[in-house]
Amino acid sequence: MKKLINAVENVLSESLDGFAAAHADIVTLGDERKFVQRRSLKKGKVALVSGGGSGHEPLHAGFVGHGMLDAACPGQVFTSPTPDQMVAAAQAVDTGGGVLFIVKNYEGDVMNFAMGAEMAADMGVAKVATVITDDDVAVEKSTYSIGRRGVAGTMIVERLVGAAAEQGRDLAALESYGKDVNARTRSMGVALTSCTVPAAGKPTFTLGEDEMEMGVGIHGEPGRRRVKLAEADAIAAEMMGAILDDLAPKAGQQVLLLVNGFGGTPAMELYLMCNAARRILAGRKLLAARCLVGSYVTSLEMAGCSLTVSLVEDADLALWDQPVHTAALRWGM
Amino acid sequence: MKKLINAVENVLSESLDGFAAAHADIVTLGDERKFVQRRSLKKGKVALVSGGGSGHEPLHAGFVGHGMLDAACPGQVFTSPTPDQMVAAAQAVDTGGGVLFIVKNYEGDVMNFAMGAEMAADMGVAKVATVITDDDVAVEKSTYSIGRRGVAGTMIVERLVGAAAEQGRDLAALESYGKDVNARTRSMGVALTSCTVPAAGKPTFTLGEDEMEMGVGIHGEPGRRRVKLAEADAIAAEMMGAILDDLAPKAGQQVLLLVNGFGGTPAMELYLMCNAARRILAGRKLLAARCLVGSYVTSLEMAGCSLTVSLVEDADLALWDQPVHTAALRWGM
């Protein structure tokens, strides 16, 4: 295992310490490193809390800040955070408007966030609502999920709902909007290599020199099929085909396109995939109104990428363009 | 070779097309893709032009925009751009204030930018001055360089000089400031894996399962020595030791710290390295006034990172904090 780490058991804590120090203008670290929270909270605003296993950075801690999350609860690598983390985070960031949990659809996360919500309600900590993301069209059921997996589309939900929260919308409205954005968002990924979880010390899966995993999950879970490595255009065609067949947009529809690297993919390849995906959108008479390219929802050092399409209207784009100030996404301020 | 590409000969052009489309609000692509330029130019401002071999993205095209570069000339992967690219770029972005070339110290780049400057002057295109960056402390002479190599510190020069240019400083002042910033900036890198140039189709070098290249260059050039893989703290100690011994800062000095991933390194590891580097700075009573962590000056999908330290004063920090609006670095607007 080749990693820039010290003792395996300290990877998360040392990384969180580095993150909090590097972005001390934006975030602070909660007690016992249970959560990362926004340095300045806005009185009465609904607080957005997300989290999940680590190893997907910058998701979620990198999206804590103005216009996105109020707190993120990091679990160990590819392991759900525990309910006490969510309770502590909710307590720290609720300023009276209630708390919205944004949770990727994996059994462990869904269960632990639900327990956290229940505990927070029982303890009178905060009123909590939950949005579960399940944007991955690759498979209907997976290693860690009942139903579709929540993957890169989660950051689009976090961003749009985060912008709406800054405008003062209430908890019910944000819950409804989050579910709506999730329902209009689809993703699919491909892996060219595996990743290695530090505590495991060996690759999560193995791929032959000429193989790729089409429809891979963000923990290296199996996708639709293992196939021979193909050209970028063919890969983009299969992923965009699955996404667009599922979304079934009308010609002329505006979309937001996210080309997401899994951690080990050069920017050159991501922009090349962006070019391929945009040509497919144009061929279907769809307008890429906004395009985000980068490694935002990763699987440690896995090589590969995912494509995400969200159907958007002018009102969504207006929210997208509002100021955002997080470690990983920043504009307008 | 596992890459998200189509035909090898189209990697650069397809990637540039995707980049220009994704960031159409910031950049446009010059004729024959000779350069990427800022969409809106500022009359009379000194124009900053950089460039070099591709494969280091987001450097340089990702730094074109307000507060950094006016144009970037991309060569093929790890290959210098040609002088006609620099002439065309200078012609496109000069608005009367002259042009400053920022060039990493590699023989091909230095020669081609010098020829470009001469041609631009002869043709009456623009008055050109040049800053050469050579921040890599690892080796005094390398595969492609006479003297030290220009590596990740180049982006700090581009940023600080870019901010100063927005304030209206003249060409001579910016040339002088750029050389000054370069002289106060040192970097060193480590590679855990090689990268593969698409046209070569095989890894640039090979490393054993338990080996790393200490002091590696950003094209996979040899560094100081090939050694057994070590813990992050030991790696950080060697790199920071070399950097700080060379810079010899006084206690209490403010520094800018850049923890730069080479393309295949997870964010978790970069933040862990950031944490390690910051402890070393604190131990030497140096203040990390700003800290930037991410994959900014890459070597395709190479795993590893570099550390860069710039000695800075309040005036530099004030420039650093000015608005910047590029594909890869953005704040304040």
Task: Return the axis-axis angle of helices A232-247 and A267-283, rounded to nearest 10°.
Answer: 50
Give the model's pLDDT for residue A141: 85
Catalytic residue among A23, A56, A60, A66: A56
Place of tokens 């855990």: B192
> Which residues on B lie below 8 Å from A21 (Cβ)?
274-275, 278, 288, 291
Q: What separation in angstroms does the CA of B30 have from each of B54, B86, B89, B288?
A: 16, 11, 8, 39
pLDDT band at B142 (very low <50, low <70, confident <90, very high): confident
> Minimal Cα distance from A4: which residue of B?
B232
Task: Return the axis-axis angle of helices B232-247 and B267-283, rounded to nearest 10°.
Answer: 50
Active site residue A66: no
Q: Which H helix or E strand runs over B102?
A: strand B99-104
Alpha carbon distance A151, A187 (integer Å): 7
Residues paired with residue A189 on neighbouring β-strands, in sequence order:
A306
Q: Do A22 and B331 touch (CB under 8 A)?
A: no
Please classify residue B123 by burial: count the beta carbons closer than 10 Å to its beta carbon, then call 0-12 exposed, 13-18 middle and 19+ buried.
Answer: exposed
Q: Do A267 and B232 touch (CB under 8 A)?
A: no
**Type of residue at A133:** T
A83 CA: distance to closest CA in chain B (Å)? 23
> Minimal Cα distance from B23: which residue of A?
A291
B169-220 pLDDT per residue, tens? 999 999 999 999 999 999 999 999 999 999 999 999 999 999 999 999 999 9
* Mean of pLDDT values over B237-258: 98
Q: Are B149 and B139 within 8 A, CB to CB? A: yes
Alpha carbon distance A18, B1 (integer Å): 34
Say which of B17, B19, B269 has its CB closest to residue A4.
B269
Instruction: At B129, list the tokens.
Output: 């001055």
Q: Please state the domain extents for chain A.
A: 8-183, 186-317
Instruction: At A309, list the tokens.
Output: 């399409």
B207: left (phi over 0), alpha (psi -120 to 50) or beta: beta
Give the model's pLDDT for residue B139: 92
Give the model's pLDDT for residue B259: 98
Q: Characterize the bridge pairing of strands B71-77 and B47-54.
A: parallel
Residue of A138, A180, A148 lying closest to A307 (CA atoms): A138
Q: Do A272 and B209 touch (CB under 8 A)?
A: no
**Type of residue at A2:** K
Say which of A77, A235, A274 has its CB closest to residue B21.
A274
Say which of B265, B275, B331 has its CB closest to residue A18.
B275
Residue A192 has φ and ψ, to the nearest 5°, of -100, -25
Q: Which CATH code is given to the segment(s) B187-316?
A: 3.30.1180.20
CATH superfamily assigned to domain A186-317: Dihydroxyacetone kinase; domain 2 (3.30.1180.20)
* Mean of pLDDT values over B318-329: 98
> Minimal Cα distance from B277: which residue of A?
A18
Q: Are B139 and B245 within 8 A, CB to CB? A: no
Give the model's pLDDT for residue B329: 97
> Which residues on B lie below 8 Å from A268 (Cβ)?
11-12, 15, 54-55, 57, 77, 300
Say which of A15, A232, A303 has its CB closest to residue B272.
A15
B94 CA: distance to closest CA in chain A (Å)? 27
Q: Do B12 and A268 touch (CB under 8 A)?
A: yes
Instruction: At B168, list the tokens.
Output: 């209206």
Looking at domain A8-183, its CATH class is alpha beta
Alpha carbon distance B263, B56 (integer Å): 8
Q: How far apart are the first and last CA of chain B?
A: 40
> Minimal Cα distance from A8: which residue of B?
B231
Alpha carbon distance A83, A40 (integer Å): 24
Q: Do A232 and B4 touch (CB under 8 A)?
A: yes
CB count within 10 Å of CB A40 equals 10
B45: which DSSP letter? P
Say which of B21, B275, B325 has its CB closest to residue A275.
B21
> Minimal Cα distance from A212: which residue of B?
B2
Give the model's pLDDT for residue A333: 80
Residues paired with residue A47 on neighbouring β-strands, in sequence order:
A99
**Mean of the per-residue pLDDT values of chain B:** 97
Residue from A271, A306, A308 to probe the interface with B (highest B Cβ count within 10 Å)? A271
> Which residues on A lie below 8 Å from B330 (Cβ)?
330-331
The yes-or-no verdict on residue B333 having pLDDT over 90 is no
> Which residues on A lie below 8 Å from B266 (Cβ)?
55, 57, 263, 298, 300-301
Detail the DSSP E strand segments found in A105-171: 128-133
Alpha carbon distance B162, A292 (integer Å): 24
> Which residues on A lie below 8 Å from B265 (Cβ)?
4, 301
B159-171 pLDDT per residue, tens? 999 999 999 999 9
A137: which DSSP letter? -
Across chain A, which has 333 residues, the per-10-residue mean pLDDT values are 97 98 98 97 97 98 98 98 98 97 98 98 95 96 91 98 98 98 98 97 95 97 95 98 98 98 98 98 98 98 98 98 98 89
Q: What separation in angstroms does the CA of B138 have from each of A234, B178, B192, B214, B217?
A: 42, 21, 16, 8, 8
| Backbone CA torsion sign across B62, B91, B11, A153 | positive
A309: left (phi over 0), alpha (psi -120 to 50) or beta: beta
**Helix, strand, coil percentages for chain A (3-state, nearest 5):** 35, 25, 40
Q: Are A8 and A199 within 8 A, CB to CB? A: yes
Instruction: At B96, list the tokens.
Output: 């009367």
